[in-house]
Structure 1
């Protein structure tokens, strides 16, 4: 069944031209029709290297092929290693990365994320028989808590340089963390008994557990978005990709590919207007501790009323421009201002909380004017596009309520979360 589904979806993708290169060269999407896509080839079912053409297979490979075919691009694959992913994007080795990339603040500061295509969470795989201590009782939901494994004598392997290494170092202070440069070899370390456990995610875990009947899985540690990471200068490509992903979520293409590669769809769909809007809000709020640390160093105040008015005016203008590009009527300006005002109040709440605590070593030292504000403007460009999409879609309420816990993960008050939710509903119902 799975092979048949993949084949059916890919029948429409075979007309796009594809080539594989360690370093692809040629014109960029702004001046030609070559699309250079970075992929790891070591992260099934997103990206898996093959010996035969076209060189890679997986969910993101199929999405890239379909996008290239529909938009008329020649597709060139550029393989990267996770520790140098950011360097590859920053030095123009490829136009975007499509390889199960996780949305993170440090990556938002360096590029543009697309609307999300999947949600995932970090999990630990382990053999209870390999443990030297009794593990706690099964937690609510039928899985052990990962915190039970954070003990001396425990060794947890993880892919070096990727998102999960950061999770491992943040979550496991007493257990040993072993980083392995080849993601495929992380699983082998568990199989061979070289380590007690490995850190993976809810998408990769079913692949790794095949044939390992005695391996257990913890409850998820994190809530993550998977999206495509576009070089910051590729604004036109980013907008084109987002519009295409929204359309393919709407017509069922992304759902069929998810079922083919992961065995399940995505409910609610992440590339639908409301899910994508909440992901953009989530991404923006995740940068607020970084903004706060920059203000701590420069002794800037959290509240800058003049700057807030400039942001609100730019937001309304941006939504109007996005509506014009989509050839639709924009939402009411007062409704748009209320939505962005709620974002500003949430941002200030997070900044004040951050400044009331110890200095964050991860977030400190990033320049507000040169790095963070440009990143926020890039996210704002996507927010404007999605505000228009939510307004046109007109079905925000139920989806927003299903994922509002995302906003609470930032430590926001119930009143702040409710106001954001109310303004999203207003965007949807405004006519």
Structure 2
């Protein structure tokens, strides 16, 4: 009987402790801000204007919509692809947005939201050369100069699939496409959504190569600190945005 009483008391204590523990979602609502990590160098997802210290892009608009749904303000945290994981592990932000690809390495460290986009890696090249780079075999030749931005899935994809072609690392993801346009590199393999956007920015100069049939499978989502309540809220918000047309409206403004 005494053992049962002790066990009951222990269970009540544990229940009380659990009740007092707040989720990250609770903390976000209480402090009134959602910290959003963005690289700011990956249009149409996010771009950072140094002159005004402001962000713009598809995922900036999505972040503002999420903040409105939560009833909080958005605090943008500037990060970079090479340090994204370190900043995430350091808890510098609650959620990473801005064209984040789902990877198993990232999944080990946090949660991913419902995917917001399905795509994969595909080339973008000068329009005059686009027919030369239809397959990885056609790309992977000693005469080809492949350019990559460091620290993300583009660099990993190139290094995993290129053996003979030159791989040139270029640190500025904002001006990297100008390197192709002016002939200092032949192509870049990046997400199909980005190739479509850059093609729109460089009409007749840069062409996306079969963006509807990328080389691999990938999905983009929002990378969340490991809190079930926060993930549940973001997933429900996305579900409602897909169904009520608000996601489509933001998407059309940047991708169409």
Instruction: Quote the RMSD (CA, aligned, Å).
Output: 2.2
Within-5 A mapping of 1:135-174: 135=132, 144-174=134-164
Residues 1:246 and 2:243 are matched in the alignment: no
Q: 1:203 aligns with which of 189, 193, 196?
A: 193
Q: Which residues of structure 1 form unaligned runs of 5+? A: 1-26, 137-143, 264-431
Within-5 A mapping of 1:338-353: none
Separation (CA, whole Å) in 1 of partners of 2:67 and 2:229: 15
Within-5 A mapping of 1:247-396: 247-263=240-256
Higher mean alpha-carbon deviation, 216-225 vs 75-84, is at 216-225
**TM-score after normalising by structure 1:** 0.49
SS of match in other structure, 2:34: strand
- When residues 63 and 34 of structure 1 are mapped into structure 2, their CA distance, relative to the original with a 3 A threshold, is same
What does residue 178 of structure 1 align with?
168
The answer on whether the counterparts of 1:112 and 1:229 sit within 8 Å (CA) in structure 2 is: yes
Q: Which has a greater percent of helix?
A: 1
The answer on whether the counterparts of 2:147 and 2:170 sit within 8 Å (CA) in structure 1 is: yes
Shift of 1:235: 2.6
Separation (CA, whole Å) in 1 of partners of 2:82 and 2:233: 28
Residues 1:41 and 2:40 are matched in the alignment: yes
Shift of 1:53: 5.9
SS of match in other structure, 2:222: strand
For residues 300-354 of structure 1, what are the alpha-carbon distances to aligned partners after superposition, in whole Å with 9 as ceiling and x for unaligned? xxxxxxxxxxxxxxxxxxxxxxxxxxxxxxxxxxxxxxxxxxxxxxxxxxxxxxx
- When residues 119 and 253 of structure 1 are mapped into structure 2, their CA distance, relative to the original with a 3 A threshold, is same
Separation (CA, whole Å) in 1 of partners of 2:187 and 2:154: 13
The answer on whether the counterparts of 1:155 and 1:197 sit within 8 Å (CA) in structure 2 is: yes
Q: Which residues of structure 2 form unaligned runs of 5+? A: 1-25
Separation (CA, whole Å) in 2 of partners of 1:120 and 1:52: 33
What does residue 209 of structure 2 align with?
218
The answer on whether the counterparts of 2:38 and 2:78 sit within 8 Å (CA) in structure 1 is: yes
Shift of 1:54: 7.4
The answer on whether the counterparts of 2:192 and 2:208 sit within 8 Å (CA) in structure 1 is: no
What does residue 20 of structure 2 align with?
none
- When residues 59 and 216 of structure 1 are mapped into structure 2, their CA distance, relative to the original with a 3 A threshold, is closer
Higher relative contact order (CA 8 A, sep 6+): 2
